[in-house]
């Protein structure tokens, strides 16, 4: 039987699927006249199939290369996104004074880098560690897109019931197995996670999803109380020696 031809989709969606840019970026480029389909300047809202040839002007690529991705070591007391309940958003920490002196990147800070800079993922107000901000829609899609399966690694200090020390010895093994797979949140089963003891008071979690307060809620379901939570890795990018409250640029050769 002959293959059924693919149904047409909107140009911005197709460009995002091809990894060229985010949908919003695609709309900007189309509006600027920087996108051609089969040699013709594309109109907003046009539909395409995989057989159509999409070309992007070099001006769009130049603009994209100037976009930055920033890694912040978020302290406690800041929210990841919009200001809420009197708490400041973590983006206020991104300024020339808090730029890590040992940043190997050659990038220099300039105010336009804050334009459209958004968190790619969340980190609770009472959690610390690696928080990624980006202007690049491709990075955002990779980290928080619907089909993202990027690993995030956390060190989680816990207590179990009245046991303040050596929670590991008191915590049942079958409950640890539940943390790895078998729990549900908001009526949906969670994806499998890697969870293991790092030391008698601390667990290491590796997740590929990021529901709101996920680790804290997972721990509550098995009787553990989270005392401290720190994200140390997103994909292949680690927090490393970046000091609390300081930031650096994602390096040219770093990939999540």
pLDDT over 80 at 83, yes or no: no
- CATH value at residue 241: 3.30.70.580
Average the pLDDT over 5-16 and give the result. 85
> How many domains is the chain partitioned into structurally?
3
Residues 123 and 242 in one domain: yes
Enter the pTM of the model: 0.79
Mean pLDDT of the chain: 90
* Active-site residue (options: 28, 85, 124, 126): 124
Residues 105 and 136 in one domain: yes
Residues 198 and 76 in one domain: no
Residues 171 and 225 in one domain: yes
pLDDT of amino acid 5: 66
Q: By residue range, what is the domain housing residue 242?
A: 66-148+236-249
Residues 137 and 195 in one domain: no
Residues 245 and 130 in one domain: yes
Report the alpha-carbon distance of residue 137 to residue 65 in Å, rounded. Answer: 12
- CATH value at residue 51: 3.10.290.10
pLDDT, tens only, 129-151: 999 999 888 888 888 877 788 99
Residues 83 and 59 in one domain: no
pLDDT of amino acid 1: 52
| Catalytic annotation present for 124 | yes
Residues 20 and 94 in one domain: no
């Amino acid at each position: 039987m002959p293959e059924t031809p693919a149904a047409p989709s909107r140009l911005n969606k197709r460009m995002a699927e091809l990894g060229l840019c985010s949908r919003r970026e695609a709309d900007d480029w189309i509006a600027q006249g920087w996108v051609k389909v089969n040699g013709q300047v594309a109109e907003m809202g046009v539909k395409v199939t995989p057989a159509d040839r999409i070309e992007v002007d070099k001006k769009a690529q130049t603009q994209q290369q100037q976009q930055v991705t920033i890694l912040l070591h978020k302290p406690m007391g800041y929210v990841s996104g919009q200001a809420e309940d009197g708490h400041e958003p973590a983006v206020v920490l991104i300024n020339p004074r808090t730029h890590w002196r040992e940043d190997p990147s050659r990038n220099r800070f300039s105010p336009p880098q804050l334009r459209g800079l958004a968190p790619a993922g969340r980190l609770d107000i009472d959690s610390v560690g690696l928080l990624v901000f980006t202007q690049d829609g491709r990075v955002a899609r990779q980290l928080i897109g619907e089909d993202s399966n990027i690993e995030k690694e956390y060190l989680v200090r816990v207590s179990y019931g009245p046991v303040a020390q050596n929670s590991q010895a008191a915590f049942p093994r079958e409950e640890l197995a539940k943390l790895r797979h078998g729990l549900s949140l908001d009526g949906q089963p969670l994806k499998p996670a890697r969870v293991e003891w790092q030391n008698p008071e601390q667990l290491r979690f590796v997740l590929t999803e990021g529901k709101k307060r996920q680790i804290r809620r997972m721990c509550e379901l098995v009787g553990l109380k989270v005392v401290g939570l720190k994200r140390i890795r997103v994909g292949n990018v680690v927090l490393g020696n970046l000091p609390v409250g300081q930031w650096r640029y994602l390096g040219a050769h770093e990939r999540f």
